[in-house]
């Protein structure tokens, strides 16, 4: 849940006046306003989220929670996830698309997948090349999903509007990382899920799943579901 809230903060950072603070521009807004009342409005216009397209790379639990919140803001939802339940996506008004279609149509590309051999490097230079120049890229999931060299290149060349990143190939992010020098990037230190409530949420999930197994059923959050049938045949949690 904390990750989804962090993502919404990212969309605000990327599309509003606060985004300009990285270049030191926001500090001059007040003095500039006193000279020309219209100057801040013309120079620091934001972008409305309503009507914009969110492209989810990964439509599991986190992706679906992001979708619920984005939908409440009037945003269109598309997703690339070969393993997603099509019926569940339809209930959330999420259109299942190819990765190329997602990259080319999204106003916000959001990484929400887990790392597997198939998903490693899934968002590559090819995908970045398809993004609109007005689009933003957000990664609060895992760095291994993304070609960060390709990401840096499109940001440095202003091929996309900007990015918000919470995860990196090397953590902590090195002090000499070229990402730190870009004015069109919002960086945070891998804290998207860091909330006061997160331990309570995690603990409840574990206990709930143990109770499900004890009742002779298979929980939905299983990393290796292929072993569950044999586990249950052996008696499960006796």
Active-site residue numbers? Answer: 142, 171, 190
Residue with tokens 């990484």: 111
Burial of 137 (0-12, 13-18, 19+ CB in 10 A): buried
Name 138's Cβ contacts closer than 8 Å, sequence gap at least 6.
Answer: 7, 10, 11, 14, 108, 109, 110, 111, 163, 164, 165
CA nearest 142: which of 13, 9, 19, 3?
3
Rg of the chain, C-alpha, whole Å: 20
Instruction: Give the H/E segment covering residue 101.
Output: helix 99-105
Distance between CA atoms of residues 157 and 187, nearest Å: 18
Give the CA diameter of the chain: 78
CA nearest 51: which of 101, 131, 133, 106?
106
């Amino acid at each position: 849940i904390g990750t989804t809230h962090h993502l919404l903060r990212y969309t605000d950072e990327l599309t509003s006046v606060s985004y300009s603070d990285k270049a030191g521009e926001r500090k001059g807004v007040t003095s500039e306003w006193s000279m020309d009342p219209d100057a801040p409005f013309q120079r620091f216009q934001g972008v409305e989220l309503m009507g914009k397209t969110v492209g989810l790379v990964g439509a599991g639990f986190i992706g679906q929670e992001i979708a619920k919140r984005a939908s409440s803001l009037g945003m269109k939802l598309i997703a690339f996830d070969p393993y997603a339940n099509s019926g569940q996506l339809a209930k959330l008004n999420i259109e299942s698309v190819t990765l190329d279609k997602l990259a080319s149509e999204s106003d916000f590309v959001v990484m929400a997948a887990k790392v597997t051999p198939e998903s490693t490097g899934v968002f590559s230079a090819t995908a970045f090349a398809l993004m609109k120049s007005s689009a933003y890229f957000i990664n609060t999931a895992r760095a291994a999903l993304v070609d960060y060299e390709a990401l840096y290149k499109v940001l440095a060349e202003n091929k996309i509007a900007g990015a918000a990143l919470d995860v990196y190939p090397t953590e902590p992010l090195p002090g000499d990382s070229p990402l730190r020098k870009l004015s069109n990037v919002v960086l945070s230190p891998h804290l998207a899920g860091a909330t006061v409530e997160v331990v309570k949420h995690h603990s409840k999930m574990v206990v709930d799943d143990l109770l499900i197994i004890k009742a002779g059923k298979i929980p939905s959050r299983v990393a290796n579901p292929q072993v569950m049938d044999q586990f249950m045949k052996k008696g499960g949690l006796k």
